[in-house]
Structures are given as C-alpha cells and as structure tokens.
Structure 1
Amino acid sequence: MIDRLTLEDFLTRNRINQDTWDGASIEWETLIAIGLDYQRYGPQLREYAAMLARIVQQYDGVHSVRWRVKDTEHMLEKIIRKRATNAEKYLQIDIKNYYSIITDLIGIRALHLFKNEALAIDAAIREHQQLIDTEQPLVYTRKGDTVPEDVFPKDRFEHREHPAGYRSVHYIIQAQPQKRQVYAEVQVRTIFEEGWSEIDHRVRYPNFSSDKMVDIFLAIFNRLAGQADEMGSFVQGLAQASTATQLELATAHDEKRKSLEAMDALVAELEQKTEQHALSQTAVTKLKEELSRMRSAAEIAELRTGMFSNDWYEKIKRNSEIAGKLAGNDIASQAISILGNSFSPSKALENIESINTLLNTASIFTNSIPVKNLATPKRNNRSKKTDD
C-alpha cells in the first residue's frame, strides 16, 4: 500500500537514482499525499475509462480497444522525472491540481488493422470528443518514415520522431466524470505496432534497458512491424482491386446476357412479322381471285337480275380477315356495303372502281403490289329489235 511505502523502496523499485530525486526537488510527504488521493479517486477513474473505451470501440475503423488507469507508483515516478527535467507545468504540482496536469491518468488504445483506417478514427475522435485546446494531436514516427501531408497535415497534427521507433497518433481529450476536470490520452495505432510496442516495453524495461544487443534486435523487429503494416495495406488494396474487377466482369456478363435476350426477342418479332406478311399476301391474292369472280358474275348478271349468294359473301369475309386486320379495315363488310346484298347489273358495274380502290388499300397496308384495276365489263349495247 502507498501509505506504507518508504522513499528508499520507492527509488529502488522505480530505478530512480539520487541525483534524479534531488533534481525533482519535491517533499516526500507531498508525493505520498498525491498518491493517497489518487488511490481514493482511482475506482471512479476506472469506471470512466471503461465507459470511454466502449464509446471508442464503436468508431469506424477501430478493431479493438484496450484501456488502463495509471498505476499509482508509475504516476509518482512520472512526477519526479518530469520535475527533474524542469518540465514547467510539473513544477507547481500538488494534491489540488495533479489530476489536471498529468494528462495520461486514463489511457485508451484504439487499435486498427490497416494504416489508412487511422483517418476514419481521427474524424470520429474530433467529432465526438473534446480535444485539449493547448495541444494538437501528436504523430510519433520512426526515423526514416515519410508521412504524407494529405494524411496527417501539419496544420492539424504535431509530428515528432520517437527515439525508440514508436509509431502512433496520440490525442489528449478532456473528461469530467464528476467535479474534477481530468484528461485521457487516446493512442491510435495498428495491431502490428501494438504488438511490437508491448514486446519492446516488456523486454526493455526493467531488465535490459541498457543492453545494446537487445536494442539492435528490437530495432530490427520494429522495421519488420512497419513492413507488416505496409504489406497489410498492400493486400487490402489488392483485395479491393480484385473485388472491383470481379464486379466489372459480372456487369459485363449481365450486359451480354441482356443483349442476347434482346436479339432473341428481335428475331422472334421479325419472324412473327414475316409470317404475318406471308398470310396477308395470301389473303390479298384470294381477294383478287374473288373480285375477279365477282366481275365475271357481274357480266353474267347483266343478262339476268340476281343476288350474290350467301356463300359468296362468306368467302369474301373469310378470305379477308387477315388483310382486314392489317389494313385496319373490314374489306368484306366494305365490299358488301358498296355492292349491297342485291343489286342491279348497272350498280355492280358502277361500283367496280370502289372495289378496286378498297383492294389497293389492303395491298398497301400489307406491302403487296397494288392491284391492277378490275376491267369494267362492257355493257351489252344490243338495240331493241324493232317491230316488224
């Protein structure tokens, strides 16, 4: 427990030498008082940190979220090291303000799979969280990294090369779960970078912090993690391009199928029109034959008065059905209307021209050759035999 912690134990466990402690220039009692207050307030911070993690988990691009509340001894160690390096805001730290000076008492790590997903996460954080006014989000890069301006423009991000090779984007957001104004640090990084940083932290601290050989291999591991991120982005782009190509091929096949179906429908329509044309040609030919017979009948009727038989009208009607539909006229009905059921020879002869016109109309609508005018039968000009 912090209330039983001695200065000697604290310095030993946290690898703080005497010079660093003296440079911090802070009373041990003041440090313990801060630690005790922090322990009392800790449960509330953990509740808020868990809630904040659930919110961040819902942002587009976030694969998984980790969170922690800073350990009490680590918090006190940070105060000593910051004061030893004359960090300005830590020089006036005390029990009344430490929670607003230390900005990473709550830590949230938002992990994502592909590098470009950091942009969607950035947009969500800026939209839903209140960023600290005095600091811009910080982009940590490894030596040799190139960060495109259109990804993390310098008017919206601060860029800093990390000495250990960490790659991450850090945001400081304001939080006030109760009366106290506290801050939380949100770190956004890929899963590969998270794996490397965790291994680096476990191996480098505390046992091998000065082992040069370990540092060399951790640096190699760091480059491999960066290459894994690049490969992940390349595979993502490759998969997207493949999907787009498959979609284009499916669309082309669908268009080809539709074109073939349209051609089949057109062929069927043409075949139907060809059959209709052939039927109409046959009907018109039969009408010609019937009118020729009618002309002959008219010539004979000149010698005697008579009527067209019902059979004759039925033939006209039957043989003109198809041509009548195509021409939009009922040719048989019109012929009967012109000639009448009974007529005199003179009336039949007078209306032959009307029948010719009717037949030629049917020929035009059925694309057949116009009918030559039916010859008007000559009248019998025999003069009356004079009485002897």
Structure 2
Amino acid sequence: MITNLQLEEFLHRNRISRDTWEASAIDWEALIAIGKDYERHGAQLREYAGMLARVMQQYDGVHSVRWRIKDSEHMLEKIVRKRAAKSAKYLAIDAQNYYSIITDLIGIRALHLFKNEALTIDASIRENQQLIDTEQPLVYTRKGDTISEDVFPTDRFEHREHPAGYRSVHYIIKAQPQKRQVFAEVQVRTIFEEGWSEIDHRVRYPNFNADEMVNVFLAIFNRLAGQADEMGSFVQALAQASTTTQAELAAAHDEKRKSLEAMEALISELEQKTEQHAQSQSAVLKLKEEISRMRSAAEASEMSTGVFSGKWMENIQRNSNFSKVLVNTDFAAQARLALGNTLEPSKYLQDLETITKSLNIANIANIANIANIANVTSNPAITGRVLRVSKTPTKKKAESEKAGSEKAGSEKEE
C-alpha cells in the first residue's frame, strides 16, 4: 500500500540511490499522491486489461495472452528514474495526468509459436485497435539479428536494437473505457523469447546483478532462444513442405487409382461390346437362316398351295371357261374335221361317246365342277383326299352297284 510507504523504505526496496532521487527533483508528497490515485483506479484498469486480453486471444496467430497492470511502487520508481534521466514528458507529471503519460500501466503480451505469425497478429491489431499517433510500432532486435525491412518495413515500424537482447514488437494502443483515456503496451513475441525474457528478468533485475559471468550466460541463453525461434520456423516450413508433398502424393495416387478404374471400366465395356457383337452376329445369322427358310416356304406355298391364292382363282376362272367351251363343242364334228375322210371315224366317235357317258356330263355346272376338282391337284393334301375318295366307293354306292349287277344277272337268266 502506498498510504503508509516511507521515502527511505521506498528508495531501499527499489534500489534507488540518493543521487538518483535528488536528480529526479520530485516532491515526495506529489509522488505519493500519484500512487494513491493509481491504486484507487486499479480495479478498473484490471477489468479493462482482462477484456483486452480476451479480445486479443481471438486474433489469428495468437497462441496465448498474458496481461498485468503495473505495480504501484514500480510505477513510482519509473517516474523517479525517467525524471532523473530528464525525460521531457515526465517533467510535468502529476496525479491529474500521469495516466496519459505512462503508456504501460496496462501490459499485454500476445505470444505466438512461429516468427512469421507476428505479421498476422500485426494485421489484427491494426484493424481492431487504435494506435497512438505519435509513435510507430517498435521492433526490438538483438545485436547481430538480420531482420529484413521487407518483413517489417520502415514506413510502418521503427527498428531499435535492444541492449539486453530482447526481441519483440511493441505497440501502444489507446482506449477510453470510462472518462479517462488510458494506454496499454502490447508486446508480441514468440514463446521462446518470452521464456528467455522471463528468466533474464528474474535473474538480472531483482538485484541489478552486474556479474559479468551471469551476463555472459544470459547472452548465450538469449542466442539459444533465437536459434530455437529459427529452428521452429524451419520445422514449420519443413512440416508444410511435407504436408504439401503428402497431399501431392495422395493426389497422384488418387489420380492413378481413378485412371486404373477408368481403364478397367473401358476393358469391361469393350468385353461387353465384343460379347454383344458376337451375339449380334449369331442373331444375324439365325435371322438370315429364318428369312431363307421363310422365303423357301413362301415360294413353295405359292407353287403348291393355291387354296386362297390368286392362282387358285385364276385356275377356277380358266377351267370354268374351258368347261363352257367343252360343253358347246361338237366332239364328233371336231373329230371328223381332224381325221378327215381318210380314216374311219366310227371307232373314235364311239370312244368319245363312251368317255362322255362315263363322265355323265349333264350341264355346264357339272363340267365346271370337274374342272375345279382337277385344279385342286395343286394342293397335295386335297389331291390325296380326292384320290382316296375316287378310288374307294362309298358303302351305299357299292351296295347299289351290287344290286344292279344282281338284277342284270337275273334278267339275263330270264
């Protein structure tokens, strides 16, 4: 607590020499007034610092965030040392303006894993926070570091070599959560750099240890932290290259698999087409054979089966006409005309009359029927039936013929 703090206790605890105190030229009561006001508003500063840390934790590239508000005695110590060093803006400091002069009352550390993620975080800070107009973000480097200005261009960053070897990027942002406008210092650094700086601060500052051997090993530790950062970036690039290579190999394997599947599908399709072609050829041959068979059957039908064909009707008409001519013909006269007078026609006339009687031709209809029956011979099945009927007299006809024969015999005997 600042209320009961005494000057000698304050100087001793913070290792401030009497000469430094005299050089600061500040009144003790005025310094205590600043400390009391700061403690009175400390709770509000903590709330704002916590809120700011939660916001920055969401930024791309941020691994983790640490925050704090400045200890009250450390704030007073800083005022004394800055005034002793004749810093211009600290010369008029008092309880009414200290919060607008001291820019690190709130401290935020945004930690990241790999060095190149600092630029991603930088973009988020510039987009979402309000930077002070009087200062550019400050890039602290260690002696011997080679940081390209293409990475942190001078029109956007100030470069400064840190005597103790700290590496980080510092931003001063301003906000006004309440009536007072306050400032916060945001330090962006790698986890390796944070580890080294915490150890360095713990070893060097409490006793302001000036032991040369300690400083040598702290410097070696600082270089190891820098090499660890470089190794982290190298491993990151190696992992990305490996991932890209694996992705390319996977894509190549996938493309190969797709090509094989496509070729297998093509082979299967060709095999199916070949089989279909063979089946088609067989079907075509069978179809040709069937057409040939049907053609032969049709031709045979036209030649031998004329029951309902045009030729059948032509035969009926032709034979009907022939029968008409035949009925109207004087066979005896035609025979005499053909034989002339040189031969005796009586025998031929008798034969013709016998034939005519055996046919029992009575009229034109009977002649036509005979002619039509003759035409039926164009159908073998019908011809067979006609022949069988003609060769096998019916029972009734046979009995009639037998009775006639018996009657003729009895008349002859009489």
Check whether TM > 0.5.
Answer: yes
Query: Do structure 1's residue 220 and structure 2's residue 214 form an aligned pair?
Result: no
Aligned to 1:324: none
Q: Which residues in structure 2 correspond to 1:1-388 (within 5 Å)?
A: 1-306=1-306
Distance in 2 between the 1:299 and 1:206 partners? 127
Partners of 1:172 and 1:185 within 8 A in 2: yes
| Cα RMSD after superposing both structures | 2.0
TM-score (normalizing by structure 2): 0.72
Q: Indicate how the Cα distance of structure 1 residues 13 and 302 shifts in structure 2: closer, same or farther if over 3 A, else same.
A: closer
Secondary structure at the counterpart of residue 146 of structure 1:
coil
Partners of 1:305 and 1:345 within 8 A in 2: no
Q: Flag the structure with higher helix content.
A: 2
Question: What is the CA-CA distance between 1:283 and the residue it aligns to?
Answer: 2.0
Q: Indicate how the Cα distance of structure 1 residues 243 and 145 shifts in structure 2: closer, same or farther if over 3 A, else same.
A: same
Question: What is the CA-CA distance between 1:305 and the residue it aligns to?
Answer: 3.5
Partners of 2:193 and 2:225 within 8 A in 1: yes
Secondary structure at the counterpart of residue 2 of structure 1:
coil
Which is worse superposed, 162-171 or 62-71? 62-71
Question: What is the CA-CA distance between 1:298 and the residue it aligns to?
Answer: 4.6
- After superposition, the C-alpha distances for 1:41-82 in whole angstroms (9 at most, x for unaligned) are 111111111111111111111111111111111111111111
User: How many matched pairs?
Assistant: 315
Q: Indicate how the Cα distance of structure 1 residues 24 and 272 shifts in structure 2: closer, same or farther if over 3 A, else same.
A: same
Structure 1: gaps (5+ residues): 308-341, 347-383
Structure 2: gaps (5+ residues): 313-321, 327-337, 339-414
Aligned to 2:411: none
Q: Indicate how the Cα distance of structure 1 residues 43 and 299 shifts in structure 2: closer, same or farther if over 3 A, else same.
A: closer
Aligned-residue identity in percent: 79
Distance in 1 between the 2:22 and 2:208 partners? 25
Distance in 2 between the 1:8 and 1:67 partners? 31
Partners of 1:139 and 1:157 within 8 A in 2: yes
TM-score (normalizing by structure 1): 0.77
Aligned to 1:357: none
Question: What is the CA-CA distance between 1:297 and the residue it aligns to?
Answer: 3.5
The one-letter code sitting in structure 2 at the alignment partner of 1:251 is A
Q: Indicate how the Cα distance of structure 1 residues 108 and 343 shifts in structure 2: closer, same or farther if over 3 A, else same.
A: farther
Q: Indicate how the Cα distance of structure 1 residues 232 and 253 shifts in structure 2: closer, same or farther if over 3 A, else same.
A: same
Distance in 1 between the 2:130 and 2:279 partners? 84
Distance in 1 between the 2:96 and 2:289 partners? 120
Secondary structure at the counterpart of residue 244 of structure 1:
helix
Secondary structure at the counterpart of residue 303 of structure 2:
coil
Partners of 1:106 and 1:184 within 8 A in 2: yes
Question: What is the CA-CA distance between 1:172 and the residue it aligns to?
Answer: 0.4
Partners of 2:302 and 2:309 within 8 A in 1: no
Distance in 2 between the 1:58 and 1:173 partners? 17
Q: Indicate how the Cα distance of structure 1 residues 217 and 291 shifts in structure 2: closer, same or farther if over 3 A, else same.
A: same
Secondary structure at the counterpart of residue 250 of structure 1:
helix
Which is worse superposed, 217-226 or 4-13? 4-13
Question: What is the CA-CA distance between 1:268 and the residue it aligns to?
Answer: 1.4
- After superposition, the C-alpha distances for 1:198-256 in whole angstroms (9 at most, x for unaligned) are 11011112325211111111000000000001111111111111111111111111111
Distance in 1 between the 2:214 and 2:64 partners? 29
Partners of 2:23 and 2:84 within 8 A in 1: yes
Distance in 2 between the 1:132 and 1:266 partners? 69
The one-letter code sitting in structure 1 at the alignment partner of 2:89 is K
- After superposition, the C-alpha distances for 1:103-132 in whole angstroms (9 at most, x for unaligned) are 000001111111111111111111111111
Runs of 4+ in 1 over 2 A off after TM superposition: 206-209, 286-307, 342-346
